Amino acid sequence: MLPFKKAARKNPKDNTLIEIATAKGKTIIGAGYCTIIAGPCAVESRDSYIETARFLQATGIHILRGGLFKPRTSPYSFKGLRELGIDIIKEARQITGLPVATEIMDVRDIDLLYENTDILQVGSRNMQNFSLLEELGKLDKPILLKRGLSATIEEWLLAAEYILDGGNEKVILCERGIRTFEPYTRNTVDIGAVPLIKHLSHLPIIVDPSHATGKWHMVTPIAKAAIAAGADGIMVEVHQDPDRALSDGKQSLTPENFSKLFKQITAMANLEGKILL
Amino acid sequence: MLPFKKAARKNPKDNTLIEIATAKGKTIIGAGYCTIIAGPCAVESRDSYIETARFLQATGIHILRGGLFKPRTSPYSFKGLRELGIDIIKEARQITGLPVATEIMDVRDIDLLYENTDILQVGSRNMQNFSLLEELGKLDKPILLKRGLSATIEEWLLAAEYILDGGNEKVILCERGIRTFEPYTRNTVDIGAVPLIKHLSHLPIIVDPSHATGKWHMVTPIAKAAIAAGADGIMVEVHQDPDRALSDGKQSLTPENFSKLFKQITAMANLEGKILL
Amino acid sequence: MLPFKKAARKNPKDNTLIEIATAKGKTIIGAGYCTIIAGPCAVESRDSYIETARFLQATGIHILRGGLFKPRTSPYSFKGLRELGIDIIKEARQITGLPVATEIMDVRDIDLLYENTDILQVGSRNMQNFSLLEELGKLDKPILLKRGLSATIEEWLLAAEYILDGGNEKVILCERGIRTFEPYTRNTVDIGAVPLIKHLSHLPIIVDPSHATGKWHMVTPIAKAAIAAGADGIMVEVHQDPDRALSDGKQSLTPENFSKLFKQITAMANLEGKILL
Amino acid sequence: MLPFKKAARKNPKDNTLIEIATAKGKTIIGAGYCTIIAGPCAVESRDSYIETARFLQATGIHILRGGLFKPRTSPYSFKGLRELGIDIIKEARQITGLPVATEIMDVRDIDLLYENTDILQVGSRNMQNFSLLEELGKLDKPILLKRGLSATIEEWLLAAEYILDGGNEKVILCERGIRTFEPYTRNTVDIGAVPLIKHLSHLPIIVDPSHATGKWHMVTPIAKAAIAAGADGIMVEVHQDPDRALSDGKQSLTPENFSKLFKQITAMANLEGKILL
């Protein structure tokens, strides 16, 4: 018997479908849909964020990334605009009609982010921050749960179980690369996690090829591989000017390269019989 | 230049010394002292905890372990006595005159634990819970910072830097095993972390051979190796009846085996010229 | 400057193409072709091997697997038919007209295998058996070089460099999963190795999803992901009766499941613009 | 039931003792003895090797390292003096009366090395070169079997089992660091392997802190930790002029630092009740 209960797949047709109501309709994740989440690693300024958001909406994405609180390895790095960026996110939602996903790092920020965003993201460093997971289990908003840097599939599903057990059934898993011995890439994408999660659980799973590789030229091949392996979507970093990004520039796509990726993902989703709203 | 500033060693004699005032005098960690921390993984009941505490104090240890809030991989496991155990810890401190170290998992528990314990421990899963580290940086109590399961030495020292940068200089590092491919042991003790931390930093470092190995028969050899490699102390799990422990029984020493370990550590500390108060 | 010279890509169009003459024409690997290698893990008996080979040839594969010398972790496991299986392989080549790939473990077997097979495979355990690599560098036959269990991309390309530097330019790289902390799968497929090798080197790279995952139900999704990520082909284990296989049964596809995989790989190769002879 | 038979410990007193006859008496490994192996990574020239050998013999070591065939990641690195160095090793044995351990990489070199050296060393890259292990199982000379870079304890003991099963009972295990995610050190010493091997097997185990850490300043602390954890000895790299070493200079001790290490190891062996011949 598996140690996870509510996260476990019951039968072949048991696939969680998550709906997010938006100003212009709805966004769907899981159960045969292919969802594309994109945006800069962090919200850096009003103008650049709105410009990127408009471009991404025009390209056809489904959900905007919008990092305000950034977990940084060093206390001396840029930690995001934090509370100051909330108004930028609100404006971007209004202009584009797209839902926004943003990272939550602290139980004390839940009210602020709950009010102003559509998906709360738990970063890999907080995957086993059980106090946070328990609070998120009490909400009725989708939680994007990134896999911990060295979390096993079992530990990851048990982290999801904390949220599900609290009463929140809207959990989206996100493979973002694991830590291995390989020094060339930032992390190693565990592509096998996709069919494995599909085998073990009914929860949707997406892949973040940007954090997983740390190299922009690997993002498109890995994004395609993710869809080919059965993922329900991808999350990609896009920046107007990657060389000047305050964080993660090396792994961000330019708008031009993102447009190319979008076309290829559309073709791949069609081959796989996935619905791209 | 190294990315950590306040955690960096300035010269060969630069060694942080941390003093903890107790009912019967003081406990010292670092700078030539050998400190032994012991106790059960979790406080389970008043009687068993007081009995173990009395035994450990009589044996000669310096600091009591006393876990109230237990981070557990599964939401269905025993999570500790939580607030209900505070009075047991207070009684043990009073009876033994020993300082108590206990794990903090949530910023909202800081006041409660600050009042009633002597060392706040950050577990490996929270090593990069930066909101928590920032709050602990504002305190004037020692913080025992366990290494993350797959944290590099640099990431670990940068987590310490968060606390130091906040103004709290009392950081004790604790190597507790890293995650590798080896399935036989729970984790793999990175014994090299001891001389490496001594080379790079002035902070004291102790080793937890119980969590690191997950097997009680490996605890004494690894504890001895830790002191031989230059560690400032060890943290060991002891349980009156390991077979009935609510968590981590397989890695807990019986009182009898702990007494043997204590003698061997004393001999090792003498050989190394360390002071055992 | 990179430490590999002859394995390094010179320009975007620099892609090694390897031709293998067969009884009925030729097989091509690399440079825009999609090559499918399949067969049982080990040759077990004449009848079962010939039956499988006929089926695979009829399905449309390009190269037969045919393991005679099997590296086994335990000295007490089945080590292959060894010299006794040579005649079976010769018969299969004749009947199907397909080239055969077989593993070489010992420099003293080179003459035997050179005479009777078409591709010599170096297993992951021998990736840094430099004496063997040096001898293979003197041959004019294709070498299938599997990635070592914990080899970095750089070490892998330097192992290829040993063969190239010896004068043999026909090296095919094979990603077969790396060792990580994850216990659920046999190994972890490093799908990122595909675009990374394409970025750094002109050598063809294929993926072995059978060894990489150890689970038959993951083979097809990972095979599709490999082609989507840019691989030049796949190598898959097929067995008439996986439950009775003498080695690696759990990861072998039945003929029926292999037929399904073949159709999906064909569709994927078409989408990617790859040529399937 | 464990998958290894001949390598398995039968009872607490079951400890293999290996004797090597020398010109001046004998050297003993295992069963309560502490054995120190030292020398340069590779034999580089007659004069420097003889000078180092004389110094080490005067210091009191038991076995000389003498690498002739060096496995190198790149085909363009110095690969050792190979056959040309045999006479240097013969001279060093004669002058010092010490046995010499040298690495074997190729089954075709067995006769040459069997005649002229006392211990044949299998490097980590060849731990699962089963053809080589099978040949070494037919000899009556001690085999020093280094742990593979990512070999589990079980795989390592099964590699030893290949040699034991062939009839050669003189196997010495050597922990030399495993591959992990930590970039600061060359490898990560798995100190837990020492008590674990002692628990599971009767074979002697030594530790190589030089290759394991890659940093000379970590060699002495780790060597002491090894003996404290129960190892039967250590293997250390010493070079007259580490800055000019043709390989592994950064991890080599100067003669002066080796003398200091030797004193500390002697004290540690005394504390542990080990016999230092």
Please give the average per-residue pLDDT across B240-268, as a whole number. Answer: 93
Q: Counting every residue, how long is chain B?
A: 277
Q: Is the pLDDT of residue B68 over 60?
A: yes
Task: Give the separation between CA B19 and CA A130, rounded to whole angstroms.
Answer: 32
Would you say D228 and B221 are in contact if contact means Cβ atoms under 8 Å apart? yes
Q: Select from B93, B14, B29 the least CA-distant residue to B233.
A: B29
Residue B210 with chain D: CB contacts under 8 Å: none
Using CB atoms, which residue from C180, C195, C222 is nearest to A221?
C195
Q: Using one digit for the tens of pLDDT, what is the confidence trace for B79-121?
A: 999 999 999 999 999 999 999 999 999 999 999 999 999 999 9
Q: Counting every residue, how long is chain A?
A: 277
Q: Is the pLDDT of residue C171 over 70?
A: yes
Task: Give the separation between CA D110 and CA C129, rounded to whole angstroms.
Answer: 16
Mean pLDDT over the full length of chain D: 95
Residue B229 with chain D: CB contacts under 8 Å: 221-222, 224-225, 228
Residue C149 with chain D: CB contacts under 8 Å: 150
* Cβ pairs B/D, distance under 8 A: 110
Quote the pLDDT of residue C2.
62
Q: Using one digit for the tens of pLDDT, what is the confidence trace for D98-128?
A: 999 999 999 999 999 999 999 999 999 999 9
For residue B246, what pLDDT band results from cuts at 50, 70 and 90? confident
Task: Copy the structure tokens of residue A67.
Answer: 């990092």
> What backbone phi and psi angles, to 5 degrees, belong to B54?
-60, -45
Q: Is the pLDDT of residue C206 over 70?
A: yes
Contact residues of D toward C, CB < 8 A: 3-5, 71-76, 105-108, 125-126, 128-131, 149-150, 154-155, 158, 161-162, 165, 179
Which residues, at least 6 apart from C233, have a Cβ–Cβ distance to it below 8 Å? C29, C33, C34, C35, C36, C37, C62, C204, C206, C207
Cβ of A74 and B149 within 8 Å?
no
Cβ of D179 and A179 within 8 Å?
no
Q: Using one digit for the tens of pLDDT, what is the confidence trace for B120-175?
A: 999 999 999 999 999 999 999 999 999 999 999 999 999 999 999 999 999 999 99
* Cβ pairs B/C, distance under 8 A: 8
Quote the pLDDT of residue D125.
97
Would you say A122 and A113 are in contact if contact means Cβ atoms under 8 Å apart? no
ipTM associated with this complex: 0.96
Would you say B65 and B49 are in contact if contact means Cβ atoms under 8 Å apart? no
Residue A72 with chain B: CB contacts under 8 Å: 130
Which residues, at least 6 apart from B231, have a Cβ–Cβ distance to it below 8 Å? B175, B194, B205, B206, B207
Cβ of D150 and B181 within 8 Å?
yes
Quote the pLDDT of residue D2.
62
For helices D255-271 and B255-271, angle between their N-to-C axes, nearest 10 degrees: 140
Q: Select from C85, C78, C73, C77 the least CA-distant residue to C109.
A: C85
* Cβ pairs A/D, distance under 8 A: 8
Cβ of B3 and A74 within 8 Å?
yes
Task: Give the separation between CA D45 and CA C91, rounded to whole angstroms.
Answer: 54
Give me the percent of chain D exceeding a pLDDT of 90: 93
Please give the average per-residue pLDDT across B188-215, as a whole number. Answer: 97
Cα dihedral A213/A214/A220/A226 (nearest 10): 30
Q: Using one digit for the tens of pLDDT, what is the confidence trace for D164-202?
A: 999 999 999 999 999 999 999 999 999 999 999 999 999
Q: Among B70-74, B212-216, D160-164, which range has the highest average pLDDT?
A: D160-164
Residue A180 with chain D: CB contacts under 8 Å: 181
Please give the average per-residue pLDDT across B38-46, as a whole number. Answer: 95
DSSP D192-210: THHHHHHHHBSS-EEE-HH
Using CB atoms, which residue from B189, B192, B226 is nearest to D185?
B192
A246's torsion region: left (phi>0), alpha (psi -120 to 50) or beta?
Answer: alpha
Using CB atoms, which residue from B3, B75, B129 is nearest to A161?
B75
Low-confidence ranges of chain A (pLDDT < 70): 1-2
Using CB atoms, which residue from A184, A189, A196 is nearest to C191?
A189
Quote the pLDDT of residue B48.
95
Task: List the single residue in B with minimal CA-CA distance to A79.
Answer: B130
Q: Select from A142, A63, A66 the least CA-distant residue to A99.
A: A63
Q: Is the pLDDT of residue B49 over 70?
A: yes
Give which of C129, C136, C145 to mutate to test D binding, by max D Cβ within 10 Å. C129
Quote the pLDDT of residue A1.
46
Using CB atoms, which residue from B4, B73, B130 is nearest to A71?
B130
Instruction: Give partners of A (≥3 CB pairs < 8 A).
Output: B, C, D
Cβ of D128 and C125 within 8 Å?
yes
Quote the pLDDT of residue D1.
47
Q: Using one digit for the tens of pLDDT, what is the confidence trace for C41-97?
A: 999 999 999 999 999 999 999 999 999 999 999 999 999 999 999 999 999 999 999
Please give the average per-residue pLDDT across C222-239, as a whole number. Answer: 98
Task: List the single residue in C with minimal CA-CA distance to B150.
Answer: C181
Quote the pLDDT of residue B2.
62
Give which of A1, A76, A78 to mutate to test B binding, by max B Cβ within 10 Å. A76
Burial classification of residue D131, based on how many CB atoms lie within 10 Å of its CB (0-12 exposed, 13-18 middle, 19 or more buried): buried
Task: Give the separation between CA C167 and CA C151, rounded to whole angstroms.
Answer: 23
Quote the pLDDT of residue C81.
95
Residue C150 with chain B: CB contacts under 8 Å: 181
Residue A266 CB neighbours (<10 A)? 16
Please give the average per-residue pLDDT across B176-189, as a whole number. Answer: 95
Residue D3 with chain C: CB contacts under 8 Å: 74, 76
Quote the pLDDT of residue D21.
92
Report the DSSP pairing between strands C205-207 and C171-175: parallel
DSSP for residue A73:
S
Quote the pLDDT of residue B108.
97
